[in-house]
């Protein structure tokens, strides 16, 4: 599986529809300061589920939408699609190509799509979990992160290996199941209390 292309419309400095293609192998993006290189990485992170505007160098989520220029009015929405080559079916979807889309409007409406079909953010994160391309995976290493990894406590660093080994998905499911169990136990306790009262 590899990222074949990134399509952006109205995302940050990319007002027009812009497609960046990645061949297999090594791709380098070069350009003058302020030309939008980091915005491309942020577009990828955004689709992968980044929820913090600060991590995308903004104050609020609106800041990802093209804010206008002297010759161009601002965009009403931002949309980014990541197209993955899925011929090895690493992503658990039947198609040889998978498109993941995130769209955000100035009215604050968020849409997530897999192969242009609406889905929940959870569906997207679950699909990506343990493939090495999740939001918190290490497929994107930002400036300063390498140093931060070296400075981490061993148990925090273990999470990197867990993600790579593919156990994160099961850890998350275990946590969800324990929460449900806890909730059910509370309900049971309440029922026993009521039963005691009526007996």
Residue 178 known to bind ligand = no
Residue 169 known to bind ligand = no
Residue 139 known to bind ligand = no
Radius of gyration of the chain (CA): 21
- Which residue, 67 or 132, has its beta carbon nearer to ligand ATP? 67
Element (H, E) at 28: none
The owner of tokens 């990894």 is: 149
- Which residue, 29 or 191, has its beta carbon nearer to ligand ATP? 29
Minimum CB distance to ligand ATP, residue 176 (Å): 35
Tally of residues, the chain? 199
**Cβ neighbours of residue 160 closer than 8 Å, sequence gap 6 or more:** 138, 149
Question: Sign of the C-alpha dihedral, residues 64, 34, 3, 54?
Answer: negative
Residue 118 known to bind ligand = no
Residue 37 known to bind ligand = yes
Question: Sign of the C-alpha dihedral, residues 36, 42, 46, 52?
Answer: negative
Residues in the site for ligand ATP, rule: CB under 6 A? Answer: 12-13, 31, 33-39, 63, 65-67
The owner of tokens 């939001």 is: 135
- Which residue, 49 or 67, has its beta carbon nearer to ligand ATP? 67
Minimum CB distance to ligand ATP, residue 59 (Å): 11
Taking the CA of residue 175 as centre, how many other CA atoms within 13 Å lie in the half-sphere pointing to its CB?
A: 6
Pairing of strands 2-9, 77-85: antiparallel
- Which residue, 46 or 112, has its beta carbon nearer to ligand ATP? 46
Residue 39 known to bind ligand = yes
- Which residue, 65 or 82, has its beta carbon nearer to ligand ATP? 65
CA 113/CA 111 separation, integer angstroms: 7
Minimum CB distance to ligand ATP, residue 144 (Å): 13
18 has which bridge partners?
A: 8
Minimum CB distance to ligand ATP, residue 53 (Å): 11
Minimum CB distance to ligand ATP, residue 123 (Å): 27
The annotation places the binding site for ATP at 32-39
The annotation places the binding site at 32-39
């Amino acid at each position: 599986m590899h990222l074949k292309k990134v399509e952006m419309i109205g995302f940050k400095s990319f007002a027009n529809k812009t497609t960046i293609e990645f061949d297999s192998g090594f791709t380098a993006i070069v350009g003058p300061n302020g030309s939008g290189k980091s915005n491309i990485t942020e577009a990828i992170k955004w689709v992968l589920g980044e929820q913090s505007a600060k991590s995308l160098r903004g104050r609020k989520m609106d800041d990802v939408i093209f804010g206008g220029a002297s010759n161009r009015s601002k965009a009403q929405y931002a949309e980014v699609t990541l197209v993955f080559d899925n011929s090895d079916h690493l992503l658990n979807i039947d198609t040889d190509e998978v498109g993941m889309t995130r769209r955000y409007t100035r009215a604050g409406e968020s849409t997530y799509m897999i192969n242009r079909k609406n889905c929940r953010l959870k569906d997207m994160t679950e699909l990506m979990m343990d493939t090495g391309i999740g939001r918190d995976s290490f497929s994107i290493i930002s400036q300063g992160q390498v140093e931060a990894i070296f400075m981490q406590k061993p148990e925090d660093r273990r999470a990197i290996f867990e993600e790579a080994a593919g156990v994160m998905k099961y850890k998350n499911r275990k946590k969800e199941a324990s929460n449900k169990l806890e909730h059910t136990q509370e309900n049971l306790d309440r029922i026993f209390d009521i039963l005691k009262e009526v007996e």
